């Protein structure tokens, strides 16, 4: 799951939260057409808002803004590493920048339809943050109504949405097969079917922030469980299958997981997707891969981390590829850098393919076990992912014309 979903976890019980998330997605859907068609905005540059993220303050240069695209120029004035979020009602994440070192500046570009928002600064990158309210005025639901509709942007979003819909449909099918094996008590079969289902979720993870509470209930880690938030979803079943080696009481978790991926598929057509969310999502997901996933934390029981890793890279690359024709016109050097970096990274992953039955292979996974990688091999992967992060971070700025 996206670590970015953390604040949403402090909330009502899961069942309630899930239906609220789906309802919120429906509301967002009313605005998505206007947002998509308008977010071309090639001729209108983003308007800049300054955010000074201090140790005890979160100073935003204005608290009212017109609807549209805005660039937040973030400066960390504290002595700790910080992060800054823009939240809509209910702590729905609109955008974020993480890992901002002391005395450094970063930019965050977001499309803001009319409504109430909060800017949160999180010194030390913990807690719910220091909040400053923000009111955005304008036509309800029109993020960039003044910008001309741009056919290439609309085509990019439509193409990416089709990809997400196809991946979500495959997620439903592969999860149904996996959970059926769990419920039938067939652990060997369930273990072999697990990697295929994981692949499809991890491919759509660039936009998982938009899934609300469905993201944690599908993909949470045990570290995220609390007294009020039980450990559920894929990784709970992974633990039952590989660590506890006991699925005699896993049926309810399996049933709930299957229901939640079906809810996700039903919600996708109304999830708001824009070129900005695609660009930001691809970049922040690969940041997360470099920072935490490469340590093997996500698939700690099954050790199929390389399946997730490749799927995250493929999903981010797909988002980039749909935007590539627009980027190629505006910044050819960026496109050739990204093409080269993605090719290098995927080629490096290919070197870790497993032959079925050989040492380090895992049934159902095309890759070797994470445990069979040497520290040098893990480092090489981390370096490649890290190298791609900087050019990926230029996508939204290039699209916004800043
Ligand atoms: Cu994940």
Output the CA 282–ligand 1 centroid distance in Å: 13
The alpha carbon dihedral of 259, 190, 163, 88 has a sign of: positive
Do 168 and 273 meet the contact criterion of CB atoms below 8 Å apart? no
Confidence of residue 46 (pLDDT cuts 50, 70, 90): low
For tokens 């009020």, name the residue. 228
CA angle 193, 299, 316 (to 5 degrees): 90
Mention every residue, 6+ apart, whose C-beta is less than 8 A from residue 358.
none
Q: Counting every residue, how long is the chain?
A: 402
CB-CB contact of 42 with 150 (8 Å): yes
pLDDT at 19: 30
Is residue 165 within 8 Å of residue 269, measured between CB atoms?
yes
> Cα(328) to centroid of ligand 1, in Å?
30
Distance 219 CA to ligand 1 centre (A): 6
* CA–CA separation, 361 and 216 (whole Å): 29
Q: How far apart are CA 166 and CA 202, in angstroms?
A: 13
CA 23 to chain centre: 20
- Of 135-144, 342-351, 364-373, which gets the smallest average pLDDT? 135-144
pLDDT at 16 over 50: no
Could you give the count of Cα atoms lying within 13 Å of 206 in the half-sphere of its Cβ? 31
CB-based neighbours (< 5 A) of ligand 1, an ion:
219
Strand residues in 237-361 grouped as ranges (E): none
**3-state SS assignment for residue 267:** helix
Average pLDDT score, the chain? 85
Q: What's the CA-to-centroid distance between 303 and ligand 1, angstroms? A: 13
CB 397 within 8 A of CB 109: yes
The pLDDT assigned to 152 comes to 87
Between CA 112 and CA 138 the distance in angstroms is: 10
Q: Tell me the CATH number of domain 45-146, given options 3.40.50.410, 1.10.10.10, 2.60.40.420, 1.10.3720.10.
A: 2.60.40.420
- Could you tell me which residues come within 8 angstroms of residue 58 by beta carbon, excluding any fewer than 6 positions away? 51, 52, 84, 119, 120, 121, 129, 130, 131, 132
For ligand 1, the distance from its centroid to the CA atom of residue 204, given in whole angstroms, is 9
Q: Which residue has the higher pLDDT, 23 or 100?
A: 100
CA of residue 267 to ligand 1 center, whole Å: 18
- For the ranges 19-23, 238-242, 325-329, the one whose mean pLDDT is highest: 238-242
DSSP SS3 for 55: coil
pTM of the model: 0.70
CATH code assigned to 151-400: 1.20.1420.20
Please state the domain extents for the chain: 45-146, 151-400
Split at pLDDT 50, 70, 90, the class of 328 is very high
- Stretch 98-114: mean pLDDT: 83
- The CA dihedral of 177, 202, 118, 213, to the nearest 10 degrees, is 10
- How much distance in Å is there from the Cα of 105 to the middle of ligand 1? 28
């Amino acid at each position: 799951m996206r670590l970015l979903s953390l604040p949403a976890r402090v909330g009502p019980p899961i069942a309630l939260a899930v239906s609220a998330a789906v309802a919120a997605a429906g509301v967002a859907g009313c605005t998505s057409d206007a947002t998509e068609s308008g977010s071309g905005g090639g001729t209108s540059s983003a308007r800049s808002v300054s955010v000074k993220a201090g140790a005890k303050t979160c100073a935003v240069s204005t608290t009212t803004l017109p609807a549209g695209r805005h660039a937040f120029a973030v400066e960390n004035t504290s002595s700790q590493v910080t992060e800054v979020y823009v939240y809509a009602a209910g702590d729905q994440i609109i955008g974020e920048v993480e890992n901002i070192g002391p005395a450094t500046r970063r930019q965050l570009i977001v499309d803001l339809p009319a409504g109430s928002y909060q800017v949160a600064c999180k010194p030390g990158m913990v807690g719910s943050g220091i909040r400053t309210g923000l009111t955005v005025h304008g036509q309800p639901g029109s993020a960039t109504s003044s910008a001309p509709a741009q056919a290439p942007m609309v085509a990019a979003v439509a193409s990416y949405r089709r990809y997400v819909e196809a991946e979500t449909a495959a997620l439903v099918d592969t999860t149904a097969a996996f959970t059926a094996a769990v419920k039938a008590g067939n652990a060997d079969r369930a273990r072999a079917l697990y990697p295929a289902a994981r692949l499809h979720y991890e491919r759509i993870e660039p936009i998982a922030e938009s899934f609300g509470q469905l993201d944690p209930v599908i993909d949470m880690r045990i570290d995220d469980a609390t007294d009020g938030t039980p450990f559920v979803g894929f990784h709970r079943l992974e633990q039952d299958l590989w660590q506890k080696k006991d699925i005699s009481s896993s049926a309810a978790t399996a049933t709930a997981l299957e229901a939640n991926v079906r809810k996700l598929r039903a919600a996708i057509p109304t999830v708001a997707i824009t070129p900005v969310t695609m660009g930001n999502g691809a970049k922040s997901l690969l940041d997360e891969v470099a920072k935490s996933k490469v340590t093997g934390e996500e698939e700690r029981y099954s050790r199929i981390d390389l399946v997730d890793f490749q799927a995250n890279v493929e999903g981010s690359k797909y988002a980039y590829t749909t935007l590539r024709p627009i980027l190629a016109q505006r910044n050819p050097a960026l496109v050739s850098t990204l093409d080269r970096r993605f090719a290098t990274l995927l080629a490096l992953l290919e070197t870790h393919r497993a032959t079925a039955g050989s040492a380090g292979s895992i049934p159902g996974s095309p890759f070797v076990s994470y445990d069979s990688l040497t520290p040098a091999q893990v480092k090489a992967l981390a370096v490649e992912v890290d190298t791609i992060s900087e050019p990926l971070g230029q996508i939204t700025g290039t699209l916004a014309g800043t």
